[in-house]
Structure 1
Amino acid sequence: MKGSDGLITAKAPGKLYIAGEYAVVETGFPAIIVALNQFVTVSIEESHEYGSIVSKQYQENSLFWQRQGDEMVFDNRDNPFHYILSAIKLTEQYARQVGKTLSVYHLRVNSDLDSEDGKKYGLGSSAAVTVATVKALCAFYDLQLSNDELYKLASIAHLDVQGNGSLGDIAASVYGGWVAYRSFDKQWLAQVRSTTTLKELLKMPWPALSIELLTPPAELSLLIGWTGSPASTSHLVDKIALAKIEKQAAYQTFLNDSKACLDEMITGFRQQDLTKIQTELRHNRVLLQQLANFSHVAIETRILQKMGKLAEEIGGAAKTSGAGGGDCGIVIIDRAIETAPLFQKWHDNQIERLNLAVHLVD
């Protein structure tokens, strides 16, 4: 969007996983993700002498590092500046391929995915900042990308930094609403990138990629609770990747069971069947607990267990959201059920209700 002052702004919503976590990183395995009405906003203003990248939230950033021998090795996958820079690099590469002249500009990032006092809710800020940056640059350079092309460009930029993951959070940030998502073949992408221009790549069908917008039943209400402990998705996914190698049979069983569960849940959305959706959400929670047991990854923390137990007592279906290890839990419940007592019990147990709504892209 371009203002009368020449300032271009673009925003992308955060997300939460509803079901299908971990399995979705594998090619073609389904998940359901929802976009939320909290946003990363990127603004761009043309400059003539020097450019700048300024983020209100990330002026002082945490870094993760490990020791390899005597070397300090930094893990930058949780650092949003790397996603911004990758998005700029890829979008400008595309701009050059379609004949645009590159400019100098000031780029500013603002996010309400975290709270004002710095709490990190785990709403997918790296994906949202990647999508918002690509959208803003597309407006700046007058690049007419479809949502499919925007998704693909932002996915490549995100994958170049993170190296793992499903890119489902990119889909939620691009398309909004409730999304049934199946990941593309990342090995195919790595191979074809060396022989294909970016312009051609965005036009091609990507093997196994599927993005379907879902309509929830009218009586479905989504509740979100935050447990006060941020988790690093990248590190948790790394640990599961190790278990995948060491416990191949158990991992394959988990994948197959997750696929069957998610296929049924997606059918529940298509049939507007709240009971089926809730049943499969509970089933998915059990499958993730089994994954946690054989991988020795703490997906469901004690406070997330408490959050779920309290919700189940009043008829809600509850589970962790995303990689787990902290962050958010979600509840799907009939909106006719009175939830004020539940929120009070959450508060009494140091669980913060996030009063967020599903964001639908215009």
Structure 2
Amino acid sequence: MISVKAPGKLYIAGEYAVVETGFPAIIVALDQFVTVSIQTADQIGSIVSAQYQENSIYWRREDGEMVFDNRDNPFHYILSAIKVTEDYAKILKQPLGIYHLTVESDLDSADGRKYGLGSSAAVTVATIKALCKFYHLPVDHNRLFKLAAIAHFDVQGNGSLGDIAASVYGGWIAYRSFDRDWLKLARKTYSFADLLDQKWPGLEVELLTPPENLKLLVGWTGSPASTSHLVDRVALNKAKQHADYQAFLANSQACLKRMINGFRNQDLTAIQQELTTNRQILNELDSFTHVHIETPLLKTLCDLAEKHGGAAKTSGAGGGDCGIALIDKTKDIDALIDDWQNHQITPLAFNVHTVEE
């Protein structure tokens, strides 16, 4: 039995701008995981998830390809991850096997509602990690990121892949996305082996060390949001509002540059100032795209955090899901948490997760 896990993530700052090549975001990996287990099977393999018990998949292998007994399934990211990893195995002349693959996730609430922690990215990363172990394939963080980014992008078709980076590298990261148009062309131009060995244009991942007195708090609104749909809506508006969108990108880039320097200089005050600035920048984006990033409950979450001496904003695409607050550990954190709970905001007791080499 092989069992591996991959963490979920939350965006700290730089949302929406990060979908443009080379524009930075800060993301953090959390100690909530997707776990993928693999066990050798005989003639019939299976893919099972506790989240989708009624839709478990059974499959066999014919002429080296996976053949499914039922095709209408919610496992697109897992299947894409399997395909990409088995393409990698073929390059290395590893014979393909049959197996039972089981998925368990901490990234949803008890009643199945998503927290917005990047479950599709985490399940993609965990599946590839598990299969690389199963097939004894060499994989470091950089190669794991590329494999998972290809698999995830094949399904979702948009986004920055920052949630993949957080799940792969762990901890606090500054991330700049690669050129996805280049990837589409490169997949047709290069062999799969060459694509994995290439330097991907625009891609940068920097591990950040937070100041000792920084405390990350996460509040959940109980209302799920669709990142893909929200990103699509901004993309539709950016052409119509070109000047406003370019100003948004420039402001976000400058803000994130200052914020990353705050991490490098261990300056919590600077980090908090830029978090507040990034909240304002996202609200300006909202004013001309009308995607409703900061819902009334997320606004309450942020305003309450500021009242208690923290800095706060939406996390990720907004429109629901989670908000985050950065606060000095010496402040009265319990008072803020009580205030959140009194306003129907659920504090989530998550911690930052670092990934071993």
For normalisation by structure 2, the TM-score amounts to 0.94
Q: Map 1:88-107 onto structure 2 (within 5 A).
A: 88-107=82-101
Determine which of 4, 26, 43 is the counterpart of 1:10: 4
Task: Give the SS at the match of 1:211.
Answer: strand
Q: Map 1:1-362 onto structure 2 (within 5 A).
A: 7-59=1-53, 81-362=75-356
8 Å CA contact 1:80–1:126 kept in 2: the answer is no
Between 234-243 and 116-125, report the one with greater CA deviation.
116-125
Q: Cα deviation per residue 1:64-89 (whole Å; 9 max; x = unaligned)? A: xxxxxxxxxxxxxxx86100000000
CA distance in 2, matches of 1:103, 1:197: 23
The AA in structure 1 aligned to 2:153 is L
5+ residue gaps, structure 2: 56-72
Change (3 A) 1:60 1:323: farther
Q: Cα deviation per residue 1:145-175 (whole Å; 9 max; x = unaligned)? A: 1100000000000000000000000000000
CA distance in 2, matches of 1:325, 1:60: 30
CA distance in 2, matches of 1:221, 1:248: 37
For normalisation by structure 1, the TM-score amounts to 0.92
CA distance in 2, matches of 1:178, 1:207: 22
The AA in structure 2 aligned to 1:84 is I
The AA in structure 1 aligned to 2:156 is Q
Task: Give the SS at the match of 2:52.
Answer: coil
Task: Give the SS at the match of 2:11.
Answer: strand
Give the Å deviation of 1:42. Answer: 0.3
CA distance in 2, matches of 1:60, 1:202: 36
Give the Å deviation of 1:59. Answer: 3.0
The AA in structure 2 aligned to 1:318 is A
8 Å CA contact 1:80–1:129 kept in 2: the answer is no
Task: Give the SS at the match of 1:194.
Answer: helix
* Counterpart position of 1:68: none
CA distance in 1, matches of 2:53, 2:200: 37
Give the Å deviation of 1:263. Answer: 0.5
Change (3 A) 1:60 1:329: farther
CA distance in 1, matches of 2:43, 2:54: 26
8 Å CA contact 1:98–1:199 kept in 2: the answer is no
The AA in structure 1 aligned to 2:192 is L
Q: Cα deviation per residue 1:6-48 (whole Å; 9 max; x = unaligned)? A: x011110000000000000000000000000000000001111
Change (3 A) 1:175 1:80: farther
CA distance in 2, matches of 1:29, 1:324: 19
Moved over 4 A (4+): none
Q: What percent of counterpart residues are identical?
A: 65
Give the Å deviation of 1:318. Answer: 0.3
Equivalent residues, number? 339
CA distance in 2, matches of 1:59, 1:237: 30
CA distance in 1, matches of 2:287, 2:91: 49
Q: Cα deviation per residue 1:297-350 (whole Å; 9 max; x = unaligned)? A: 100000000011111011100000000000000000000001111111111111
5+ residue gaps, structure 1: 1-6, 62-78
Give the Å deviation of 1:245. Answer: 1.4
Give the Å deviation of 1:115. Answer: 2.0
CA distance in 1, matches of 2:241, 2:168: 35
The AA in structure 1 aligned to 2:17 is A
* Counterpart position of 2:69: none
